[in-house]
Each structure stands twice: as structure tokens, then as C-alpha cells.
């Protein structure tokens, strides 16, 4: 095997390394800047001298945010929504995906089209808003979970996974006198742990990052999830750039940075554990029928 | 009967999802009635009750929104921002996947992947906070511009520049994670193809051009079509947190307009009418995209 000569390959290899490395740097720089500011004194932040390491190391931004108690409350609300929401979503999605993966199911086609239709045609923001109010769910954490509980897309992922499971196991269950419940809970669910985890990841991330539902439905301070809490802190100074009266002792920017860092940390902590499910999940999504 | 005796558990399992779909997906469709009515909150006991009590006016509301300059602007912005993002952001993950595939040092490769995927897991609120910070007049980017002796740019208040802020922050957040699907597709390409190409004297660049890229084409086509179908929905979470009244002119999109009119000003009629218009166009786009996908690749995308 002889190596071809020319400038094409070396140039290509250099670009191959440079592009991802530059992207990674571009991703890290703003992040470093924000963390540095969050640990800096307000005078250093206001003078614009903080770049990649804290100047005048100071934890008052953090103590300001944490002392109000609102952050803790908002964080607890988000954790509740993520855990309860993800459990409910994964369970109900798996429960509907399993019957639909069965060829012998009568009316299966009808249900399939029903779920596909609700995926591509939605009533829109205002009708959803009116419904949540009519159901008496507004200003409750359930309004952040129930209206988006099942995604047809995730259902399709699980369905195609269930379809590919070996049928012999189920047949032997039937021979032993077991029914579909037995098949589903004792065999199908345990066999599908990896794809259930991927779907749980999709749901969990969306429950964690969504702020629009909270903007629509949540009004009282003690029901606000973390992202809405953060939204209000960030949007407060986004347009006018000034500080509200309560921000006089610490700089508004420092407080914003501290809040951003605080709301990123939980994600960074779980990130190493969820990372191995990314590829599996994306592949499941890509290999439909 | 014999069928039901065995299959009834299947229907029980489907029950929660069916209930969910009826309550949260089908019931709201009733609210669409507002789009065809001379709706007023005071026509009934509550907002929902008033729908039936209001007078039917046919397509009047739709005619009205098309004489609303703010709506037409939002409509145009939706397509402009959507197209801008499609053209600029679509190729980035493909390039990233191709390049990262060439990195042979495993640790460097997985380290880069870890960093590049990360921002996907931040909410748009966090990303907006980070970008507001580095783009503010005293922020990192402007300090850098000053160092180079250039003028400061008010990124968040300048309508033209702000569109680019939307594009760049989207690239920052999603490029890495969108590459996963291509990285996975590349890793499933058979090594015999590469070996054959190598025997024929193809270098790394040629192998990328003549083996990897053609093998990726089906995934690329499907992803492109899916993205096009979603052009109307994708920007809402981002723009709602990032924009401000100064840049409404260039950054207001249909969904943010619906939010401001429908929720902010409680103009339900306008909100529902524009929302329904959006849903119909969206629906048509998805169906069209799916049809195209079937014609080109022989399989459906949804």
C-alpha cells in the first residue's frame, strides 16, 4: 500500500483536527467567562476586567441567590417535575408502544394514525392554555407534566424496538398460561432497559430545559421551576441593562452568572452517567421501519 | 370473543395514552372554534363557555390577520430565520461528524465529543444568559473587538445583527449533538469499503469524498427533509427568551407573536387564528416533507 502524495491529505487532516477543537474552544470560552464572573467581586465585574479567572474572589453572588431561598424552592420544583414527569412519561409511552407493536392488535392502525395525527397537527398555544385553565391545572406543577406527557416520536422509537424483540419468548409465556401483562412486565420491559433509558433521557432533558409551559401556566412564586426563575432573573436586565433596587449590594451581572452556573451544575453532575445513552437513542430514532 | 379473552390486556395498557390523547390533544381542538367566531370573553360564563355562545363569522378572522402588518412581518421573519438557519446550520453537524471521524486518538476524540454535546443539555434560558453576558456592550466579544481596534457592536439591540446572534447561538448549542446521528451512521459503514478504496490508492480525503459521503447521503436527505418540515416550530423557545422590543422588526416569529397577542394581551381570537394558520402550514410542510422523503429515499420519515 503506497501513500498517495499531494497536499490534499495533510490539509484535510489538519482541518479535521482544527474544526472540532475550535468548536470545543468556542463552546468552553463563554462558559469559563460566566463562571469566572460568578466568583468575582462586583467592582471587578462592573469594571469589565474579568475574563477567564475570577478577580477579587467573592462568593457574595452565590450567597445572594441562595439566601433568598427562592432558588432552592425552584430547584426542588424542577427536580419534582423531572423525576415524576419522566417516570410517568416513560411508563405510559412504553405501555402504549407495546400493544401497537403487536401485529395481532385489532384497530392498531386506527390508534397509530390517531397518534401520528396528534404529533403533526396541534391545536396551538391558546387552546392548550384555555384547556389547562379549564381543567384547573394552572399554577400547579402538574401543568408542567401532563400537557406534554407522551411524545408520539418516543412512542415510535419504543414501538420499533419492541417489534424487533424475539417473539419466541412471548410464545413460551403463552404456552405456560401467561398473558400479555406477564410478557410486558416480566420480559419486554427488562429486555428493553437501554432503549427505555434513551427515551427517559429525551423526556428528562425536555422536562428539565422547558420554560415555556411554566411561563404560560405558573403564576405563584413558590411553584416556579428553575428555568422560569432563571428566565426572570436574566430577562430582568436583558433589555434595560440596569439593576433593580434589590441588586444594589451585588452586581446584577454577577448574580445572573451565579444563577446560570448553579442551574448548569446539576446537569454537569448527571452528564457522565447519561452520556452513554446518547448514541443508542439517536440510532433508535434514525432506524425507523 | 376468543380474541378479546386473550387481547384485553393490550387495550388496558393503551388506556392511559388514549385518555391523555383525548384530553390533551383532541379536546383543545374545540378551542380552534374561536378562529371562526366573533369571540368575546364576555359571551359566556368562562373563556371556554364563550366559544359556543359567540357568533359564527366564517373566515373573517383570517382575512383580518392578513391585513395586520405585525403578523405579516412575523410570518416573513419565520421563513427568513428558518431559511437562514437551514442553509447555515444544516451542514455544520455533517462536517463535524466527518472531521471527528478522522481523529484517531481515542481520548482526544471522546473528550471533544463530550464538550461538543454538552450545550444541548442547557435550556435556552441558560444559553440566552450566557450569550447576553458575552455579547453585552462590556462583554467578552466587545472587549475583544476593542482590543482589535474595532467599533463596539450592540448585538442584542441591532435588528440585522440580532438575527445572526440567533443563528450563532443555535450553532453553539446544537451543532455537536446534531452530529451524533451522522457519527453513528459513519460508524456503521462497512470497513471493507474503506479497504477497497485504500487498495485503489485513495487517500484520506478521497475516502471521505468517495466512500463516507455517499454512504451518508440517505441520512443527510432524511435529516434535511425533517428539518424543513419543522421550520415553523423550532425557533420559539430560543427567540422568546432572547429577543426584545427593539428587534421585533427582524426577530418576531409567528409563535412569539401568538404568545404576545394571545397571552400577553389576551386577544384570544387573534392568537387562535394565527395559531391555527401556523398549525395548518406546519401540517402541510410535514406531509410534503414526508412525501418527498418517500420519493427520494423510498422510506417515510415519520
Tens digits of residue pLDDT in B26-85: 999 999 999 999 998 888 888 888 888 888 998 999 999 999 999 999 999 999 999 999
Residues B143, B94 share a domain: yes
CB contact under 8 A, B103 and A28: no
Same domain (yes/no): B88, B188: yes
Residue of B nearest to A46 (CA): B138
ipTM: 0.89
Q: Tell me whether residues A23 and B96 touch, CB distance under 8 A.
A: yes
* Domain region containing B222: 83-255
pLDDT of residue A45: 81
Residue B263 lies inside a defined structural domain of this protein: no
CB-closest option in B14, B114, B263 to A111: B14
**Do B108 and B193 share a domain, yes or no?**
yes
Residues B30, B158 within the same domain = no
Contact list, B263 vs chain A (CB under 8 Å): 125-126, 129, 216
Is B48 found in the same domain as B109? Answer: no
Q: Which long-range contacts (CB under 8 A, 24 or more apart) does B156-159 make?
A: B156/A238, B156/B132, B156/B242, B156/B244, B156/B247, B157/B244, B157/B246, B157/B247, B158/B247, B159/B246, B159/B247, B159/B249, B159/B250, B159/B251
Q: How confident is the model at residue A245 (pLDDT cuts 50, 70, 90)?
A: very low
Whether pLDDT at A242 is above 70 = no
Task: Please indicate, yes or no, whether residues B41 and B138 belong to a single structural domain of this protein.
Answer: no
For residue B291, is it within any domain?
Answer: no
A12 near B CB under 8 A:
yes
- What is the distance in angstroms between the Cα of B21 and the nearest Cα belonging to chain A? 8
Per residue in B189-231, pLDDT tens?
Answer: 888 999 999 898 888 898 998 999 999 988 888 888 778 878 8
Between strands B37-38 and B55-56, the pairing is: antiparallel
Residue A95, C-beta contacts closer than 8 angstroms, at least 6 positions apart: A184, B13, B14, B16, B17
Per the domain annotation, does B192 fall within a domain? yes
For Cα atoms B21, A155, A275, give the angle at the middle one, nearest 5 degrees. 130
- Predicted pLDDT of residue B292: 85
Cell output for A144: 408542567
* A43: confidence class by pLDDT, cuts 50, 70, 90: confident
Q: The domain at A69-289 falls in which architecture?
A: Orthogonal Bundle (1.10)
Pick from B98, B100, B133: which is nearest to A34 by CB? B133
Enumerate residues 6+ apart whose C-beta is below 8 A from A52: A29, A32, A33, A36
Count up the domains in chain B and report the number.
Answer: 2
Q: Domain check: are B182 and B220 in the same one?
A: yes
Give phi and psi for A250, each to the nearest 5.
-115, 160
Do B51 and B89 fall within a single domain?
no
Within this chain, do residues B102 and B235 fall inside the same structural domain, yes or no?
yes
Looking up residue B186, the CATH number of its domain turns out to be: 1.10.3720.10
Using one digit for the tens of pLDDT, what is the confidence trace for B10-43? 999 999 999 999 999 999 999 999 999 999 888 8
Average pLDDT, chain B: 90
Q: Would the pLDDT of A241 be above 50?
A: no
Q: Do A95 and B7 touch (CB under 8 A)?
A: no
Asked whether residue B31 is domain-assigned, the answer is yes
| Residue A42 pLDDT greater than 70, yes or no | yes
* B156 and B242 together in one domain: yes
Task: Give a yes or no: residue B206 inside a domain.
Answer: yes
Mean pLDDT of A60-74: 87
Q: Is B241 on the interface with A (CB under 8 A)?
A: yes
Amino acid at each position: 500500500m503506497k501513500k498517495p502524495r499531494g497536499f490534499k491529505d495533510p490539509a484535510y487532516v489538519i482541518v479535521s483536527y482544527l474544526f472540532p477543537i475550535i468548536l470545543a474552544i468556542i463552546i468552553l470560552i463563554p462558559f469559563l467567562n460566566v463562571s469566572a464572573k460568578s466568583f468575582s467581586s462586583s467592582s471587578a465585574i462592573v469594571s469589565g476586567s474579568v475574563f477567564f479567572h475570577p478577580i477579587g474572589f467573592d462568593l457574595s453572588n452565590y450567597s445572594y441567590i441562595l439566601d433568598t431561598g427562592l432558588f432552592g424552592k425552584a430547584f426542588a420544583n424542577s427536580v419534582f417535575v423531572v423525576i415524576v414527569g419522566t417516570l410517568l412519561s416513560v411508563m405510559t409511552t412504553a405501555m402504549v408502544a407495546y400493544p401497537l407493536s403487536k401485529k395481532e392488535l385489532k384497530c392498531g392502525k386506527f390508534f397509530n394514525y390517531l397518534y401520528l395525527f396528534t404529533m403533526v397537527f396541534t391545536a396551538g398555544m391558546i387552546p392548550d392554555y384555555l384547556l389547562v385553565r379549564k381543567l384547573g391545572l394552572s399554577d400547579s406543577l402538574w401543568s408542567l407534566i401532563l400537557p406534554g406527557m407522551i411524545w408520539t416520536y418516543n412512542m415510535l422509537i419504543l414501538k420499533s424496538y419492541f417489534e424487533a424483540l424475539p417473539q419466541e419468548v412471548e410464545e413460551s409465556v403463552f404456552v405456560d398460561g401467561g398473558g400479555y401483562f406477564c410478557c410486558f412486565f416480566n420480559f419486554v420491559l427488562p429486555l428493553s432497559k437501554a432503549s427505555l433509558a434513551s427515551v427517559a433521557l429525551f423526556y428528562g432533558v425536555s422536562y428539565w430545559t422547558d420554560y415555556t409551559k411554566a411561563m404560560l401556566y405558573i403564576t405563584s412564586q413558590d411553584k416556579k421551576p428553575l428555568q422560569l426563575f432563571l428566565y426572570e432573573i436574566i430577562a430582568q436586565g436583558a433589555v434595560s441593562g440596569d439593576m433593580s433596587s434589590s441588586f444594589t449590594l451585588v452586581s446584577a451581572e454577577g448574580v445572573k452568572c451565579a444563577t446560570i452556573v448553579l442551574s448548569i451544575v446539576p446537569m454537569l453532575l448527571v452528564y457522565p452517567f447519561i452520556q452513554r445513552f446518547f448514541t443508542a437513542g439517536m440510532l433508535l430514532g434514525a432506524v425507523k421501519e | 370473543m376468543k380474541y378479546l379473552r386473550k387481547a384485553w390486556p393490550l387495550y388496558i395498557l393503551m388506556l392511559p395514552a388514549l385518555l391523555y390523547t383525548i384530553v390533551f390533544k383532541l379536546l383543545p381542538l374545540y378551542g380552534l372554534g374561536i378562529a371562526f367566531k366573533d369571540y368575546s370573553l364576555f359571551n359566556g360564563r368562562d373563556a371556554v363557555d364563550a366559544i359556543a355562545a359567540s357568533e359564527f363569522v366564517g373566515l373573517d378572522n383570517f382575512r383580518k390577520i392578513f391585513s395586520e402588518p405585525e403578523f405579516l412581518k412575523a410570518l416573513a421573519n419565520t421563513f427568513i430565520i428558518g431559511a437562514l438557519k437551514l442553509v447555515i446550520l444544516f451542514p455544520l453537524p455533517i462536517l463535524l461528524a466527518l472531521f471527528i471521524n478522522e481523529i484517531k486518538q481515542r481520548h482526544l476524540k471522546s473528550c471533544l465529543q463530550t464538550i461538543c454535546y454538552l450545550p444541548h443539555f442547557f435550556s435556552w434560558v441558560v444559553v440566552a444568559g450566557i450569550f447576553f453576558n458575552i455579547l453585552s456592550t462590556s462583554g467578552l466579544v466587545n472587549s475583544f473587538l476593542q482590543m482589535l481596534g474595532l467599533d463596539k457592536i450592540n448585538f442584542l439591540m441591532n435588528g440585522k445583527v440580532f438575527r445572526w446572534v440567533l443563528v450563532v447561538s443555535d450553532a453553539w448549542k446544537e451543532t455537536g449533538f446534531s452530529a451524533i446521528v451522522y457519527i453513528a451512521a459513519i460508524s456503521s459503514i462497512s470497513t471493507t469499503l474503506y479497504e477497497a478504496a485504500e487498495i485503489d490508492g485513495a487517500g484520506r480525503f478521497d475516502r471521505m469524498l468517495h466512500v463516507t459521503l455517499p454512504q451518508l447521503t440517505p441520512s443527510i436527505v432524511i435529516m434535511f427533509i425533517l428539518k424543513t418540515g419543522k421550520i415553523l416550530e423550532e425557533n420559539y423557545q430560543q427567540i422568546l427568551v432572547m429577543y426584545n422590543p427593539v428587534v421585533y422588526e427582524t426577530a418576531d416569529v409567528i409563535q412569539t407573536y401568538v404568545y404576545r397577542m394571545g397571552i400577553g394581551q389576551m386577544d384570544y381570537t387573534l392568537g387562535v387564528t394565527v395559531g391555527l394558520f401556523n398549525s395548518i402550514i406546519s401540517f402541510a410542510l410535514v406531509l410534503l416533507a414526508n412525501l418527498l422523503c418517500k420519493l427520494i429515499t423510498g422510506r417515510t420519515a415519520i
